[in-house]
A and B are shown apart, each in its own frame.
Chain A
Amino acid sequence: MNLLIIAALTLVAIAAVVVVFTDDPARQAVTLSVFGLLLAILFMVLQAPDVALSQIAVGTAVVPLMIMLAVRKVRGRQ
């Protein structure tokens, strides 16, 4: 099996643990964005450029941005 794939898979798994254990949601938005980027790289090596493209757009930009904005709203209130 391709070393590149093994490396990408391992990085994704590690990043997932980091995301789950980042308790502060504002920081989690950042780790989630990195996780999304690693996933996109994994999809690229898995011969899925279409999925990688949308993963970059959605997973590294839109979702973390929405989390940031949600956190800002909730924090602003407390």
Chain B
Amino acid sequence: MNVYPYLVAVFLLVIGAFGIARSHNLIHAVGCLSVAQAGTYVLLLAVGYQHGAGAPVFGSPASTPTRNVSDPFVQAMALTDVVVSATVTALLLALSVQIGKRHGTVDPDELSALQG
């Protein structure tokens, strides 16, 4: 059980990529890409977790800072990552919309403009 969270993270990365490979719709593929990215959040946060520790926030003025908290750096990375993913997803969706407009389809099997 000590590696279950890590295995789930790997699973998310690969299943998301699988979703893109089998996708019939580019918008669906972009959705799958965000599943793959969720794998990286889970991996990061699992790496930073510590049994019995608290969140790295010393909420009230009374609470004294202690080192018995989970790793804040992985949380900062995951936070950065969440924002990056949202904006890049927006960009990719914008491109999908334009593909739909220009090709009349968003099925990658029917797009044949870039062969050879």
A binding-site residues for B, Cβ under 8 Å: 1-2, 5-6, 9-10, 12-13, 16-17, 19-25, 28-29, 32, 35, 39, 42-43, 46-51, 54-55, 58-59, 62-63, 66-67, 70-71, 73-74, 77-78
Contact = CB atoms under 8 A, between A and B. Distances in A.
Given A66-B90, A78-B105, 4 more contacts: A13-B12, A51-B79, A51-B82, A78-B104
A45 to B, nearest CB: 9
Interface residues of B, number: 54
Interface of A is mostly: helix
Interface of B is mostly: helix
A17 B107 CA distance: 21
B57 A49 contact: yes
A51 B76 CA distance: 8
B99 to A, nearest CB: 8
A20 B4 contact: no
Interface of B: 1-2, 4-5, 8, 11-12, 15-16, 18-19, 24-25, 27-28, 30-32, 34-35, 38, 41-42, 45-46, 48-51, 53-57, 69-70, 75, 78-79, 82-83, 85-86, 89-90, 93-94, 96-97, 100-101, 104-106
Nearest to B1: A1
